[in-house]
Every structure is written in C-alpha cells, then in structure tokens.
Amino acid sequence: MNVRGRVTLPIEQGMDDQLPQILDRLGADAVRNSDGTWLPEITSQLGVKVYETYFPARGNQEFALAHLDARPRFYLMSDRVTAPAEGPLAIDIMNGYYKMQVEPDQGDLQRWWEVIDRTTGEVVPVEGWSVSGEGADVTVTIAAPVAFHVYTVSFLAWQVWDSTQMYNYTTNNWENDPTRVREIGYDARHPDAWEFMTSSMRKWCEERPEVDVVRFTTFFYHFTLVFNDLGKEKYVDWFGYSASVSPLAMEAFEAEYGYKLRAEDFIDEGYYNNSFRVPSKVFSDWMDFQSRFVSSRVKELVDIVHSFGKEALMFLGDTWMGTEPYGKYWPEIGMDGVVGSVGSAATCRMISDIPGIRYSEGRFLPYFFPDVFKPGGDPLGEANESWLQARRAIARKPLERIGYGGYLSLAVQFPEFMARIEQIADEFRSIHEVGEGHLPQSSTIRVGLLNAWGAQRSWQTHMVAHALWYKQIYSYLGVLESLAGLPFDLQFISFDDVRDGKLDDLDVVLNVGAAGTAFSGGEQWLDNDLITALRGFAANGGGVIGIGEPSAVQHQGAYFQLSDVLGVDKELGFSQSTDRYPVERPEHFITADLPGALDVGEGAGDIFATGDATQILRLQNRSVELAANQQGEGRGVYIAGLPYSHENARVLHRAIFWAAGREADFDAQWVPSNVGVEVSVFPEAGKAFVMNNLTEAAATTLRGRATGLDGDGAITELQLDLEPMESRWIDLQG
C-alpha cells in the first residue's frame, strides 16, 4: 500500500530542500510547528494542511502584566502542623511551595481562606487566626490552638507563573535565553481577559491565512501542577480542578447553585478531589459548573476559528479542565478534532473513542527531542515500543490520524528511524483502507467497567499524571490496557448508572481498583440499591469480574460486599480464627493459555475463598490470585491485580467469556493460540488484521469462521508464521 494522508509531521525552518521528499515518503498531508520552532516560508507550497499551535490563556505577557488581577489562582493547603502544649501556633503557609509559582491571594481572605483543626475536622473561626506578611511570605497565626491538635491552612493563591510554561522553561534551561519570559496566564472569567482572548483570536486568525488548523494547547484552566520550594514537582493531578478557582467563579457558582462554597470543598483534606476520591456532591457540581462555562467560552473561540474557514483541533492537554472530551458539554463545542499523546493502548483509546469530533489524532512517541535523538539514544526502539502498544488499540478503534512532534531536523539524522515510521504510516493507513470505514468486529458480549466516574472518565481511570507509572496504579491500569486491544465494546458506567438500570444493557461488569477509591467505590457499596442491583444482575446470569479490592468496604462481616458473587473476600485480620483449606485447581477455561503463575503486580493482600464452591485458579503465598465462582445463574471472577502483559490480556479475554457463560463460543473467535499475537476481524472486508505484538518471530494458529466472530458456518484453522512485530492481513475465507 502506498496511500497518502493521515499523517502530521513537525517541520521547521532550514530544511526546505528535504521537506518535499520527506513528506512524500511518509505520505504526510499535514505539518505543524512545535514549541520553539517556526514554520518555514516554503510551507504554503508543500500542498499540505498547516497546523499552528495557539495558547488562548497565556502567551501575551504584556496583557498579563497589565492585568495581574486576571491571573488564575489555585487553592492550596499548608503543611499539617501540630500545636504546642501552650501558646499560639504560627504556620508558614508557603513552606514547601515555590515562590516563583505561588503567591497567596490575601483578597477577602476571611471569606476564602480556612483554618482547620485536622484532629477534629472543625473549622477554626476567623476570629481565631490572623495573617501577617505579604507577597510570598505569609504566616497564619492561630491564637489559641488546642494543645497537640494538628492544623492546616487552606488558602487561595495566585498562579504567578503558568505551570506548563514553567515546566518547559526549567526543563529546557530557558533562564539562559533572553527571549524567554516567565509566562503569566489569564483567567477567561475575568472580563478584560475574555475580551482580550476573543479579540486576540480573531486577530491571530486574520493574520494567518496560511494556517488551516488551529492547534489549541487546550484552553483556560491548567490541571493541578504545583512545584515545591526547590522548583521540583510537588503535586500533580491531571484531572485536578483546584487551579480553576477564583472568587468570581465561586460567587457565580453560589448565585446559581444556591449554596456557598468553602475552601475545604477544594482542599478535600489535602487530597484536592483527585480522581481516586469518590467525588463529593459539591465537587461534581463544581466540575459541571466549570465545564459548562469553559465549554461555552471555548465554543465561542471555535466559532471564531470556523468563521475564518479554519479547523479547531484541541491538544489533550495541559489546560484542559472543563473541556474533558467525555464530559457532558463537550459535544456542544463543535471542535473538529482532538490530538493527544499516545503512550499506551489505553491512552490511544482515550483519544480515538472521543465522541462528537470529526477526527482524532495520536501524537506518537518518541518526540523528536534531543533527549532521545542523540548518540546512544534509541529512537528506533522507542518507535517500535510505542507502535506495538498503540497498534493493538488502533486495530480495535482506529485513530483517524497519527503524527509526530519535535524537531524534524533531529529525526532525519536517524535514517533507520525514518524508514521505520514510513512503514508505520503505511501500516496505519492500511487499517483505514481495508476497513473502508467499518470498525473491526466486537464480541456480542456487552462489557461495562463500573466505578464512581462512569463515562465521564472513559479510558481515564486509575491515572495520576498523564500516562506515568505509579506503584499503586499499574496493577489496575493493565485492565484498561488489556481491554484497549480486546474485541469488546467497553462501556464505562457509574454507580448512578447502575441505580438507573444500566446493568440491563450489559452481560459482564468489571469493578477494578483499591479499596475506598472512586474506582472500587468505597462507601458507595453500602447502598442497598447498588449492591442488590449487582447481585440481581449475577442471579440473572450476568458476569461480575472484580479486580484488586472490588466492592470493598468493611460492613456486617464482609469486606468485599460482592463476596457472595465473587466467592472471595479479603482478610483484614478479623477472620483469622476461621480455618481455611484453600486448594488450587489450576485447570480452567480462564487459565487455558496461562501455563504458570499469574502476575498480579502489587496484588491485593490476603484474599481467601469464602467457601468450597469457589474455584481457586491461582493461589500464591496463601492468597487467592485468581478465582472463578458460579453463583446461581451468574458467574463471578476475581483477579488480585492485572498489570499489562500479553498473558494477562488473554486471561482477561477468557475471564470475560467465562463470566458471560460464553466459553463455548471462544474457539471460533479467531483468537491466536500464541498470546503474543492479536487479531482484529473486519467481516465486511472478509479480512482480519493479525498483529505480532512480540519483537521476535511468532508462530500461531487461528480458528474462526468466514463470517467473522458470529455465525455458525464451518470453523477454519490457519497456521501463521509471523516476523517480529509483523502485521498481516489474512483472508477469513482461508
């Protein structure tokens, strides 16, 4: 295949001679600049679409400096400080914060700040504390604290320096570059700022007839990113709203919702409503409020862009709070496309599944930056790793476009890398060519992932910072990573959805996460309607898969409230007196492709079978790691953790089939015998896309029907020998 298109490349000045040929080789139909590069004059003659980056809420330092009251703010909490035996307690609220980034906002602080006794949870009355100091040196003194109680100060602060620009600035040592300033942002809610944003947008569009696509580096409110007193990252929450606050917004909220906000609504005991917290009513209201505001304002900017005949493309994202693409108001914006960084199959699906846009684009790794494109660097290896991860997801739900970022002049110094991304671009386009607009086929088993967030956080569960490894998430992220390449149409459903009857639309439901988190559900499971809905679902033949600490909350003699369905519970110490005689019975449909131990990552602690009916499929160190339980008509599967691996994805694939009671169909699903190989079936085209996910050669057999995953025709068996990383289109007819 040698079709052109669907690929965006970064270009820069000084490469005019090479550019046409490079674009042609890769079939690139769009170009972009990067942070620190400018498009060459030749661009308009290249016959490609032109992207240019735009920052709505920062970038004009002159405006920013003239409107310091338009700076965005955030809510921050001081250290936890223990009161002495007697006398007042002085808290240096800026201790541990970076004074270049944060400055307390002392405006009406009695209204917006809060001093809390963390031993009791009580608020200290405003008469009980006073503030001294100014600028970034501010002390709060509690006149008469209770001896040995712990206190915190919640304070509103100015964002003195834009978080992303600060990150780029410090990372790239721009302090040595006199052309760089420390950029200050401005808040779209400030009337002057908003007026400035719209007029700037118009002016910018006017001045750039050559730009086809405005690539918004998202919009107004940065995710929570706070630095410490050494300028190192102190707090990061890619989903955080604590940098979206302002008195203006909070007063508008109060006027609309009829209740006052308080600092603690954002501070949340110091957890800042991160997405692991079961969202409070107030926080959900705030998200809705800000999302509605941001979306409506973004729509105005997008309308301006459209009025100039340009497209609006959102980078997902830095200042993306309020434009979450699975949010309620997103489709109303009318964004043309979303581009995002692809770090895994799950992040790829996070982009490719976005509703309400015409196209999604994945920015692939590696970024053309000197950290990788240097002597001794391995850009080829990184490209392969990135592609192998993303290809599984693309073959399930294709991105419309792919692209790269950074400095092309660096990349061309690595010819093997350039040759490889040429192959990748062709391989990518073939999925669109063969698929002819059809998506690959999914199993008819309807699968839902249940947590407190539901659809609002589709493909965004168990994440802290974007696509980074954390010890407490990788054993759960593996579930999403597996599902991102498995042939199921995954629905993300919330506990409220369950209460609204949503389980009727599902065959199998998963609850995945650590106890108490929004992903497991915490005290949500004390709700009788929720728990009986799940038990009823199982009793009627539904499948329930629990991973980690599903439905966990200590109550009435059980920790997993779904222990009856799952057949397992967790030992917290209280039930050690009950003797257990666990027997591993490792042979099962679910483990048919898992010859040895299951890698459960961090695992879930001491899991025991609640009765003899539970089939323990894997038992390690006296703890159940994989179990299957028939409960009435329905089935429960428990997995202690599922970091991503080819084997684990297969275990989940089989677990879903077993939970759905559909294991008899599995043999005709074109599932490769080799777990390192995966397949996407396109019945309309009569073809299947077979991917060797391994960096070594792979032999496999495949069994399925000419009709694809369904039907009742004869089953054909194919034998394939695949090169390392190879993908191959095969004919379903055999």
Task: Decide whether 423 or 540 has the Cβ nearer to its own copies.
Answer: 540
Q: How far is the CB of 3 from its own copies (least distance, A)?
A: 44
69 binding partner (options its own copies, Mg ion, none; Cβ < 5 to 8 Å by kind): none
Q: Report 193-232 residues binding its own copies (CB under 8 A).
A: 224, 228, 232
Q: Report 497-536 residues binding its own copies (CB under 8 A).
A: 513-517, 528, 531-532, 535-536
8 binding partner (options Mg ion, its own copies, none; Cβ < 5 to 8 Å by kind): Mg ion
Do the Cβ atoms of 395 and 485 come closer than 8 Å?
yes
Q: Is residue 176 at the binding interface for its own copies, with CB under 8 A as the rule?
A: no
d(Cα 702, Cα 306) in Å, to the nearest integer? 48
- Residue 318 annotated among the catalytic residues of the structure: yes
274 binding partner (options Mg ion, its own copies, none; Cβ < 5 to 8 Å by kind): its own copies
Task: Decide whether 381 or 603 has the Cβ nearer to its own copies.
Answer: 603
Q: How far is the CB of 638 from its own copies (least distance, A)?
A: 16
Could you give the string, one character per residue 52-81, with x where binding to its own copies holds by CB under 8 A and - elsewhere?
Answer: ---------------------------xx-
Q: Is residue 470 at the binding interface for its own copies, with CB under 8 A as the rule?
A: yes
**Region from 172-180, 359-367, 462-470, 651-659 binding its own copies, contact rule CB under 8 A:** 462-470
User: Which structure tokens are listed for 380?
Assistant: 């080829």
d(Cα 83, Cα 460) in Å, to the nearest integer? 40
Q: Is residue 152 at the binding interface for its own copies, with CB under 8 A as the rule?
A: yes
Q: How far is the CB of 556 from its own copies (least distance, A)?
A: 4
Determine which helix (DSSP H) or strand (DSSP E) holds 307, and give its type and residue range: helix 281-307
What are 221's strand-pairing partners?
Answer: 321
- The gap between the terminal CA atoms of the chain, to the nearest Å, is 22
Q: Report 603-622 residues binding its own copies (CB under 8 A).
A: 606, 610-611, 621-622
Do the Cβ atoms of 8 and 26 come closer than 8 Å?
no
87: left (phi over 0), alpha (psi -120 to 50) or beta: left
d(Cα 290, Cα 287) in Å, to the nearest integer? 5
Q: How far is the CB of 8 from Mg ion (least distance, A)?
A: 4
d(Cα 26, Cα 552) in Å, to the nearest integer? 50
Provide CB contacts within 8 A for 670, sequence distance 6+.
679, 681, 688, 702, 703, 704, 708, 709, 732
Q: Is residue 259 at the binding interface for its own copies, with CB under 8 A as the rule?
A: no
Task: Decide whether 127 or 469 has the Cβ nearer to its own copies.
Answer: 469
Q: How far is the CB of 570 from its own copies (least distance, A)?
A: 11
Q: Of 117, 265, 318, 599, which residue is the catalytic one?
A: 318
| CA distances (Å), origin 299, targets 201, 309, 393 | 12, 15, 30
Nearest to 629 by CA among 617, 647, 641: 617
Nearest to 165 by CA among 155, 174, 154, 156: 174
User: Would you give the distance in Å from CA 551 to the centre of its chain?
Assistant: 22
Task: Decide whether 353 or 549 has the Cβ nearer to its own copies.
Answer: 549
Candidate residues 44, 45, 61, 576; the one interacting with its own copies per rule CB under 8 A: 576
What are 311's strand-pairing partners?
Answer: 213
Provide CB contacts within 8 A for 696, sequence distance 6+.
724
Q: How far is the CB of 641 from Mg ion (least distance, A)?
A: 9
363 binding partner (options Mg ion, its own copies, none; Cβ < 5 to 8 Å by kind): Mg ion
Candidate residues 36, 84, 541, 713; the one interacting with its own copies per rule CB under 8 A: 84
What letter does residue 444 receive in the DSSP assignment? S
152 binding partner (options Mg ion, its own copies, none; Cβ < 5 to 8 Å by kind): its own copies
Task: Decide whether 84 or 370 has the Cβ nearer to its own copies.
Answer: 84
Do the Cβ atoms of 73 and 105 come closer than 8 Å?
yes
Q: Is residue 584 at the binding interface for its own copies, with CB under 8 A as the rule?
A: no
Q: Is residue 572 at the binding interface for its own copies, with CB under 8 A as the rule?
A: yes
Q: How far is the CB of 160 from its own copies (least distance, A)?
A: 20
Q: How far is the CB of 369 from its own copies (least distance, A)?
A: 23
470 binding partner (options Mg ion, its own copies, none; Cβ < 5 to 8 Å by kind): its own copies
Q: How far is the CB of 429 from Mg ion (least distance, A)?
A: 16
Q: Report 344-363 residues binding its own copies (CB under 8 A).
A: none
H runs (alpha helix) in 589-712: 646-659
Q: How far is the CB of 32 from Mg ion (least distance, A)?
A: 6
Q: How far is the CB of 605 from Mg ion (least distance, A)?
A: 6
235 binding partner (options its own copies, Mg ion, none; Cβ < 5 to 8 Å by kind): its own copies
Query: Would strands 687-692 and 677-682 be described as parallel, antiparallel, or unpaired?
Result: antiparallel
Place of tokens 């674009």: 23
370 binding partner (options its own copies, Mg ion, none; Cβ < 5 to 8 Å by kind): none
Task: Decide whether 38 or 271 has the Cβ nearer to its own copies.
Answer: 271
Provide CB contacts within 8 A for 45, sequence distance 6+.
none
User: Would you give the distance in Å from CA 485 to the centre of its chain?
Assistant: 16
Candidate residues 236, 412, 694, 706; the one interacting with its own copies per rule CB under 8 A: 236
**Region from 444-452, 480-488, 553-561, 704-712 binding its own copies, contact rule CB under 8 A:** 553-561
403 binding partner (options Mg ion, its own copies, none; Cβ < 5 to 8 Å by kind): Mg ion
Candidate residues 14, 47, 376, 581; the one interacting with its own copies per rule CB under 8 A: 581
Q: Is residue 146 at the binding interface for its own copies, with CB under 8 A as the rule?
A: yes
**Count of residues interacting with its own copies (CB under 8 A):** 74
> Largest Cα–Cα distance of the chain, in whole Å?
85
φ and ψ of 393, to 5 deg: -75, -40
d(Cα 279, Cα 648) in Å, to the nearest integer? 30
Do the Cβ atoms of 664 and 692 come closer than 8 Å?
no
Do the Cβ atoms of 668 and 713 come closer than 8 Å?
no
Q: Which residues of 642-656 are buried (b: 16+ CB within 10 A; e: fewer)?
A: bbbbbbbbbbbbbbb
Q: Report 277-296 residues binding its own copies (CB under 8 A).
A: 277
Binding residues for Mg ion (CB under 5 A):
8, 363, 403
d(Cα 403, Cα 9) in Å, to the nearest integer? 6
Q: Is residue 453 at the binding interface for its own copies, with CB under 8 A as the rule?
A: no
**Region from 23-31, 35-43, 82-90, 714-722 binding its own copies, contact rule CB under 8 A:** 82-90
Do the Cβ atoms of 17 and 45 come closer than 8 Å?
no
d(Cα 440, Cα 678) in Å, to the nearest integer? 13
**Region from 272-280, 290-298, 478-486, 492-500 binding its own copies, contact rule CB under 8 A:** 272-280
Task: Decide whether 15 or 150 has the Cβ nearer to its own copies.
Answer: 150
Do the Cβ atoms of 240 and 274 come closer than 8 Å?
yes
Q: Report 702-721 residues binding its own copies (CB under 8 A).
A: none
Q: Is residue 336 at the binding interface for its own copies, with CB under 8 A as the rule?
A: no
d(Cα 463, Cα 477) in Å, to the nearest integer? 8
Candidate residues 29, 288, 378, 571; the one interacting with its own copies per rule CB under 8 A: 571
d(Cα 20, Cα 11) in Å, to the nearest integer? 11
Q: Which residues belong to the active site? A: 318
